[in-house]
Amino acid sequence: MMDGPDQKPETVIRVRDLVTRFGTHTVHEGLDLDVRRGEIIGVVGGSGTGKSVLLRAIVGLLTPQEGRIEVLGQDVGRTTEDEYRRLRRRWGVMFQDGALFSSLTVQGNVEAPMREQTGLSPELRRTLADIKVRMVGLPDSAHAKYPAELSGGMRKRAGFARAIALDPEIVFLDEPTAGLDPIGAAAFDTLIRQLQAALGLTVFLVTHDLDSLHAICDRIAVLAERRVLAVGTMSEMLDIDHPWVREYFHGPRARAVAPSGQAKD
């Protein structure tokens, strides 16, 4: 349901007071974050700030020590097995490099969530998988190929097709353009924006790619000092006076990709 002109955007992910630790190492401490329906939010931060850890906590793949995570109005940490299974059908995840099953073809990989979480017939699964593979721009020849036979860019597109297999409301993308050449990365950014608009997706995008932040992200969340240091638009990021934020958004690489008038010292 669309928000009216006087309504605040619906919050579809709400993280409060999150604490995650591995042994004696604390990754997040008191982390808060809201994600709005229909936006593309880019999550950035230095190495070790826990970007992918945050993603995994939100989708229930790891249990934080403290805090509360709500997705689509449900507390992920307090769902029953059946509730979690139903909730999981409402999101899709694409891990780094697609994380495809090596023993399955592209078609089989895209059908996998349907086999696991629906009672669809094999014929309908094949038809729907075929549609998803076409939606991400893969040629017909890719359907019967195995991941090892695909280029890096094609594997990522296949991973994206699997992430949208169940028509989710939210898609989590973990470094989707990492390892791609600039042309391939720009094409994948365009694909994300096109599918987000066509399918009404909310996109949670873990990235370090400044081009992606400029090209497709509505807001950016910066992870630093074990928390979300700042959330806002690209123009708002440029006004933040914090050493890491300034280096990231005003450094040489930022100046190289920024539109004219931005990222200037």
Question: What is the token pair recorded at 135?
Answer: 């939606």
DSSP state at residue 264: -
3-state SS class at 237: helix
pLDDT at 252: 62
Helix ranges (DSSP H) in 19-96: 51-58, 81-88
Q: How far apart are CA 93 and CA 6, in angstroms?
A: 32
The region of weakest confidence among 6-20, 48-62, 215-229 is: 6-20
CA angle 110, 147, 45 (to 5 degrees): 85
pLDDT at 223: 96
Long-range contacts from 258-261, C-beta under 8 angstroms, 24+ separation: 258/210, 258/214, 259/214
Region 153-159: mean pLDDT is: 95
Inter-residue contact 176 to 154 (CB < 8 Å): no
Q: Which domains does the chain have, with CATH numbers?
A: 11-90+171-176+200-257 (3.40.50.300)
pLDDT at 262: 56
pLDDT at 57: 97
pLDDT at 256: 54
CA 144 to chain centre: 26
pLDDT at 257: 58
Inter-residue contact 78 to 110 (CB < 8 Å): no
pTM given for the model: 0.91
Region 145-149: mean pLDDT is: 96
Element (H, E) at 108: helix 106-117
Question: Which among 76-85, 95-104, 249-258 has the top mean pLDDT?
Answer: 76-85
Whether the pLDDT of residue 60 is over 70: the answer is: yes
Question: What is the token pair recorded at 75?
Answer: 């507390």
Q: How far apart are CA 74 and CA 57, in angstroms?
A: 14
**Percent of the chain beyond pLDDT 70?**
91
Measured CA to CA in angstroms, residue 168 lies from 91, 147, 163, 164, 171 at distances of: 5, 23, 8, 6, 7
CA 259 to chain centre: 24
pLDDT at 1: 43
